[in-house]
Structures are given as structure tokens and as C-alpha cells.
């Protein structure tokens, strides 16, 4: 919870504010006319340290072992679940029983090491352990097929208070609401592809870090699954082949990574972010939107790796031979966007 004597003021301000920190805006950027913004129009590219004023606001980071509890809302085929589970297990392979060194570099675990650089006022780092926890399915969409942001908190409440097999409420638990393509979520595709925040005790009964990410397939893959689908305002650009053969889910993986990184470094909206308003923070993954490799920025992803058999583009290896394309995050020591596939790391 927020610190010191400002708790009441903070919570009253939240009541009038949007119910989630806006994270992962659609990409690539456009100017007011709708045209594609050039590299010079955005400072969110490698080497932008003179522009970024990332600050620590004295709140906690997720320093205890993290357990991610997925909540599958809507119809989710088994193969799509397997892809997302594989990514979550890849964040900390040894927590999933993998032998050390079993996943080659650059790996998802290597990527998480940048997130781990963030500390709180006790000097505790973000946890190295991220485990896949218990899961809950709501294929019947008990809250309907059109959800507001507050409805996402209600979905979490349903999962932790269910009569049968409720999700545990534990110290390191975070709750990941994943909506299938038929589910409409407030501002999805237009303003956000995912967001994170914390639940209100008045709604859920607990203060719990949570995130929502939607599957944009069939709705707006060119917005939320870029670069596996390309918007019309990007001329001459061909979509990248998704490493797991599913543009919607492969696009979700990067958004999930984005939200987990920001939940870990800013779980209660009072830790690591740039800007003066905690309701509209620029967080450690926002700073690197659209950057997946060296030289990235604007509509250019940066230099990627290519699967020799499938031709798919990726930048990280995961458990079970999986490969993923995940955006970079801000390195607080180097003061620029960083990823383990960077050319200066080889």
C-alpha cells in the first residue's frame, strides 16, 4: 500500500482516477494526422537517456518469489494455453524444474535479469524467481463478453473466491487475466493492449497486483500484435512470421512480458516510473515500446534472430525449445533500452 501519512489522500485520488495504469499503448506511433511517425518523432529508442527521467517513488517492488496465476477468460484452445504457459515458465526455468543452462542464450530468463535490477528502499531487488501458479478458467464468461476496467477486478475476485478450487491469495501472487478474441475490453485496441494495477479491497477483499492482456486476433492484430501484423499506415512493411505460429498469441506474449515487468517494478503505482502522475505513469517497458533488437525505434523493430527452419522472427529462447519475440525494457544502470539479444552483449 502507499507509504507514510498520505494513504487516505492517495486512495481518494485513485477513486477519481482511471482504474489502471495505462501500459502498452498501440505501436508503432502515429502523428495527429494518422501518418506514421518517423524515428525522430519518438524518443523511445535506444540511446534516449537524455530524455528519460525515470525515478523511484519509495514504494515496494515484487521482491518476494513471484507466482503468476493465469485466469483464462473466454474460449482458450489448449495449444494457445501451452504457448503462454511456456513463456511464463521460461522466466525462471529452474523454478519449473529445468536444469541450469538448459535454455540457450539469449533467453527469456536473461531478459528478466534487466527487470531484476530494480530495487526498493530496502535495496531488495525484484525477485529472480517467477513461477507458474494455479490457474482458473472462465470459459462461460460469467461477467459477460464486454468488460470495463473495473470488471477485470471482478474477474479476479471471482477467481480467488470461487467455491471450487479458488486461486490462492499468497504473498508473491500476481493475477494475470487473459481474454480470448471474442471478449471486448474497455479501450482495447484503441488506447491499450494491456494494463496492470492492483485490486481494491472494497471490490476483491484484498490488495493484489494484477494485469489484463487481450488476444487481438480477428480484432486488431495490426495494433496489438505488431510486428506479426502491419497497419495500413506503415507502407512497404511485411509482417514478421510468429515464432509459435499464432500472431494473436505471439503478440500477447510481448504484452504479457511488458505488464509483468511493470508489475514487478511498480506493483502499487508508487515505485519506478517517469512522470508526475501515478495514474498515467511511463514505466520501464513503456520506455521501450516497439524495440526488440539493436537499432530499434519508430516502425523498425531492431535486429532480430530468424528461425532457420520456419523463417519466424524471434529474440529470446524459452523452455521446451520455444522461441519468443519480446520487447526490451529500460536498464536503470545503462540508461537505455536493453535486451539479451543486443549486439553489444555478444
Query: How far is CA 300 from each of CA 170, 297, 318, rounded to the nearest angstrom?
Result: 40, 5, 24
Is the pTM value of this prediction over 0.85?
Answer: yes
Res 280: pLDDT: 83
Res 49: pLDDT: 44
Res 52: pLDDT: 66
Answer yes or no: is pLDDT of 32 > 70: no
Q: What is the per-residue pLDDT across 271-280, written as a single tens digit (0 to 9) for each?
A: 999 988 887 8
Q: What is the per-residue pLDDT across 170-186, written as a single tens digit (0 to 9) for each?
A: 889 999 999 999 999 99
Rounded to whole angstroms, how far apart are CA atoms 156 and 138?
11
Share of the chain above pLDDT 90, in %: 74
Res 12: pLDDT: 36
- Residue 346's pLDDT band, with cuts at 50, 70 and 90, is low
Res 15: pLDDT: 40
Rounded to whole angstroms, how far apart are CA atoms 47 and 180?
36
In sequence order, the 6+-apart residues with CB closer than 8 A to the CB of 297 are 39, 42, 44, 45, 46, 290, 291
Q: What is the per-residue pLDDT across 150-162, written as a single tens digit (0 to 9) for each?
A: 999 999 999 999 9
Q: What is the per-residue pLDDT across 71-126, written as a single tens digit (0 to 9) for each?
A: 999 999 999 999 999 999 999 998 777 777 789 999 999 999 999 999 999 999 99
Share of the chain above pLDDT 70, in %: 85
- Residue 164's pLDDT band, with cuts at 50, 70 and 90, is very high
Secondary structure of 146-199 in HEC code, one letter for each residue = EECHHHHHHHHHHHHCCCCCCCCCCCCEEEEEEECCCCEECCECCCECEEEEEC
Amino acid at each position: 500500500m502507499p507509504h507514510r501519512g498520505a494513504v487516505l489522500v492517495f486512495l481518494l485520488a485513485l477513486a477519481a482516477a482511471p482504474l489502471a495504469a495505462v501500459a502498452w499503448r498501440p505501436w508503432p506511433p502515429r502523428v495527429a494526422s494518422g501518418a506514421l511517425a518517423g524515428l525522430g518523432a519518438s524518443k523511445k529508442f535506444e540511446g534516449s537517456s537524455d530524455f528519460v527521467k525515470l525515478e523511484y517513488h519509495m514504494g515496494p517492488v515484487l521482491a518476494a518469489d513471484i507466482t503468476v496465476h493465469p485466469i483464462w477468460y473466454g474460449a482458450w484452445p489448449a495449444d494457445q494455453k501451452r504457448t503462454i504457459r511456456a513463456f511464463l515458465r521460461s522466466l525462471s526455468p529452474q523454478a519449473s524444474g529445468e536444469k541450469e543452462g538448459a535454455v540457450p542464450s539469449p533467453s527469456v530468463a536473461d531478459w528478466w535479469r534487466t527487470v531484476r535490477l530494480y530495487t526498493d528502499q530496502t535495496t531488495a531487488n525484484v525477485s529472480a524467481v517467477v513461477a507458474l501458479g494455479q490457474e482458473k478458467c472462465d470459459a462461460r464468461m460469467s461477467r459477460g463478453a464486454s468488460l470495463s476496467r473495473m470488471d477485470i477486478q471482478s474477474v479476479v475476485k471471482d477467481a480467488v473466491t470461487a467455491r471450487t478450487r479458488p486461486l490462492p491469495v499468497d504473498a508473491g501472487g500476481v493475477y494475470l487475466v487473459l481474454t480470448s478474441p471474442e471478449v471486448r475490453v474497455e479501450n482495447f485496441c484503441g488506447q491499450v493492449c494491456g494494463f496492470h494495477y492492483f485490486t481494491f479491497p472494497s471490490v476483491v477483499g484484498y490488495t493484489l497486483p494484477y494485469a489484463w492482456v487481450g488476444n487481438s486476433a480477428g480484432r486488431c492484430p495490426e495494433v496489438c500484435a505488431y510486428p506479426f501484423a502491419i497497419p495500413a499506415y506503415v507502407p512497404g512493411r511485411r509482417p514478421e512470421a510468429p515464432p509459435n505460429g499464432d500472431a494473436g498469441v505471439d503478440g500477447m506474449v510481448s504484452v504479457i512480458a511488458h505488464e509483468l515487468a511493470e508489475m514487478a517494478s511498480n506493483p502499487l503505482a508508487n515505485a519506478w516510473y517517469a512522470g508526475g502522475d501515478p495514474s498515467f505513469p511511463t514505466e520501464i517497458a513503456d520506455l521501450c515500446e516497439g524495440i526488440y533488437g539493436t537499432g530499434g525505434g519508430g516502425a523498425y523493430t531492431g535486429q532480430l534472430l530468424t528461425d532457420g527452419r520456419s523463417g519466424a522472427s524471434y529474440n529470446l529462447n524459452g523452455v521446451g525449445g520455444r522461441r519468443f519475440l519480446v520487447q526490451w525494457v529500460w536498464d536503470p544502470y545503462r540508461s537505455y533500452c536493453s535486451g539479451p539479444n543486443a549486439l553489444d552483449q555478444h
